[in-house]
Amino acid sequence: MSNGCIPFNLTNTYLMCSLTKSVLNNTRDLEANVEIRIGTNLTFLIGKIVFQNLTLSSLSGVSFITRQFGLWTMITLIILSSITIISLIFLLVIILRRYYFHSSGKYRQSVPPPYYHDVWCELGKKWQINPNFVKIAEKIGQGCFGDVYKGELQQNDTSIEVAVKVLRDQNVGSMHEFLFEANRMKDFSHPNILSLIGVAWDPTRKAMVLLPYMKNGDLRSYISNEKNRPTVRQLITWGIEVADGMDYLSSLKFVHRDLATRNCMLDENLACRISDFGLSRDVFDRDYYLVPRTTTKEKDGVCIQIPPRRLPIRWLSPESIESSRYTIQSDVWSYGILLWELLSRGKTPYPGIDNADIFTYVKNGYRLPSPTYCPPLLYKSAMLVCWHVDP
């Protein structure tokens, strides 16, 4: 029997007693009782607590609690409590910051000025990208209307590489045309057509058109680089891929109007995709010629004045140069020029001929000669057929 325990109840199994003050100071619980188990040698164990208001019949179901606290135990509890409180405060700060971010103007979808509102709404929310999800990296191209950057788009906890065309809002007309062309791309779905990812409108960066990032750049730059040296077989393969893409566009009654190697892109696997649709013509500004005002006579005898315009005149059919008429047939003419570019490895069509003389040159029946390494059958059965007066 311990001197620190004053018995007050005894059964065959349990001895209940009250603690002395010296023991109570160690337990830090003035209402605590000590359970003493009687073994074969009448030994006892101290350290499990029951409360005075418990009855003997309920002791078998009591979960006893150890109360022998040491200095290190108290220090550990204090540290754990502090960490818990700090974690809760940190979590609360994050929640408040997210609430502020989502409710502030920075998170809300940026909208264009009123004069672009119609074409912006026509895009639909699926293609309206929040600029806060776009991360712009290094510049990979530039032109008179805008710059092209490599970037990342955050989508559903993942990021994808994108090419970001950032426009400078020089005039309403060019910007509206840019958004209109982007709007036309949103429904394209073909392995040889560059599809639209979306359009973002950031007041500090103007309009941003997001396209899949093409690791190997445009087709013209690739084939003209002597380091790449593509084979004739590879050049013809790209020609076939472009033909497949143009066949898809023609099935949608879509006229490209600017088919050329500069407007075809190569992905990481060197697969060719038709792009542009008016979105990169400023990058190759030298390929576009300002055609002066002209007058053309329609079939009904009415004369129509065509205002000055910038055209890729070396890739256009005669009727497109003369009257600004663009059809699937005029795209066929441009495809023949593209084949010539491929087999000449990126040379500019009609070398040595001034832009002002191209129309007269073609109208009089002159055609580009066969490239040096072009298979004769390809030149006769494809290129010349594309350049027929009535293709």
Q: Where in the sequence numbering do the catalytic residues fall? A: 258
How many whole angstroms separate alpha carbon 94 and alpha carbon 113? 33
Instruction: Tell me how crowded residue 59 is: count the other CB atoms within 10 A of its CB.
Output: 15
3-state SS of 35-75 is EEECCCCCCCCCCEEEECCCCHHHHHHCCCEECCCCHHHHH
Residue closest to 141 by CA, chosen among 209, 203, 192: 209
Per DSSP, the residues of 275-293 read --TTSSTTTTGGG-EEEPP
Tokens of 40: 């074969």
Amino acid, res. 278: G
**In DSSP terms, which residues pair with 48 in a beta bridge?**
66
Check residue 345 and report its DSSP letter. Answer: T
Residue pair 294/281 in contact by the 8 Å Cβ criterion: no
Helix (H, G, I), strand (E, B) or coil at 197: coil
Using CA atoms, how far residue 109 sits from 179, 200, 220, 319, 334, in Å, is 17, 9, 37, 44, 40
Contacts of 241 (CB under 8 A, 6+ apart): 192, 271, 272
Does the annotation place 262 within a ligand binding site? yes
Does the annotation place 263 within a ligand binding site? yes
Using CA atoms, how far residue 344 sits from 164, 231, 283, 349, 369, in Å, is 30, 12, 21, 9, 10
DSSP H helices, the chain, are 21-27, 71-103, 117-123, 172-185, 219-224, 232-251, 318-323, 328-343, 358-363, 376-378, 384-386
DSSP H helices, 186-317, are 219-224, 232-251
Q: What are phi and psi of 155, to 5 degrees?
A: -140, 120
Residues of each annotated binding site for ATP: 165, 262
Residues of each annotated binding site: 165, 262-263, 276
Residues of each annotated binding site for Mg(2+): 263, 276
